[in-house]
Amino acid sequence: MKIKLSNEYYKKIIESIIFVSDKPVKVEALKGYFKDLQPSELKEILDELVQEWDKLNRGFKLELVSGGYHFRTRSDLSTEIIEYNKEIKKFRLSRAALEVLAITAYKQPLTRIDVDQIRGVDSSGVLNLLLDKRLIEIKGRKDVPGRPFLYITTEEFLETFGLNSLKDLPSLKELEEISKDIGELL
C-alpha cells in the first residue's frame, strides 16, 4: 500500500519540477506523474503555489501561461534586468510584424492571401520572420486550388505575450479603446 504524501511535500516536488523546466509545465504532464492525486487536489496545490509566490512579491512569480505553469520574471523589473545583462535583447517586433501577428491570432487559421487582403500589402516577408521567431507556424493547407499554407499562432506566442490561451486576448472592442487612448496621448 502506497503512503499518500502531504500537500506540502507535493508542493515542494511540483515547485521543483516547474523550476527546472525551461518550458511551462502542463497540468496533463503533472496529472500523469502524480497518479495518486485527484485532479482537484492537483489544481488546489497549483493554485496555492501561485498565491504563495505572489504573496512573496519576489523578483519572479509563478504563472499559468500557454496551458502550463512557469516561473517568470516580473515584467516591472525587465528594464533593470536588461541593463544588468546586456546580452539579453529586448523583444521587439516591427509594426508590420505586430499587425500580421494580431491578424493571425484573431483570424486563425488563415492563408498569406487572407493576411494580404486584410493589410492591403504583401505579407510574405513578415510571415517568414514570424515563422523564424516561432510565433506562428504552418498548420496544414487550405483545401482550395493551389493549396496555400494555413498559419496559426504557437505556444511560444502565448508564452511570449504571457497568455494562457487565445481566450486571454483582448476583445476587438478593447483593442479599439486602447488604440483610441494611445492616439489621444500622441
Quick: pLDDT tens for 94-149.
Answer: 889 988 999 999 999 999 999 999 999 999 999 999 999 999 999 999 999 999 99
Q: Which three cell numbers stand for residue 166?
A: 487565445
Task: Give the chain's domains with CATH numbers.
Answer: 7-82 (1.10.10.10), 95-185 (1.10.10.10)
Using the predicted structure, report yes or no on whether residue 172 has a pLDDT greater than 90: no
Phi, psi of 26 (to 5 degrees): -70, 145
User: Closest Cα to residue 33, out of 13, 63, 53, 12?
Assistant: 13
Quick: pLDDT tens for 80-104.
Answer: 887 887 766 666 788 899 889 999 9
User: For all residues of the chain together, what is the average pLDDT?
Assistant: 87
Using the predicted structure, report yes or no on whether residue 185 has a pLDDT greater than 60: no
Residue 128: its pLDDT value, please? Answer: 92
**Would you list the DSSP string of 156-168?**
HHHHHTT-SSGGG
Residue 85: its pLDDT value, please? Answer: 77
Quick: pLDDT tens for 40-81.
Answer: 999 999 999 999 999 999 998 999 998 899 998 888 887 888
Mean pLDDT to the nearest integer, 144-169: 91
Residue 92: its pLDDT value, please? Answer: 79
Residue 109: its pLDDT value, please? Answer: 95
Residue 87: its pLDDT value, please? Answer: 67
Residue 186: its pLDDT value, please? Answer: 47
User: Closest Cα to residue 45, out of 85, 74, 5, 73?
Assistant: 5
Query: Cα separations (Å) of 64 from 33, 69, 86?
Result: 19, 5, 28
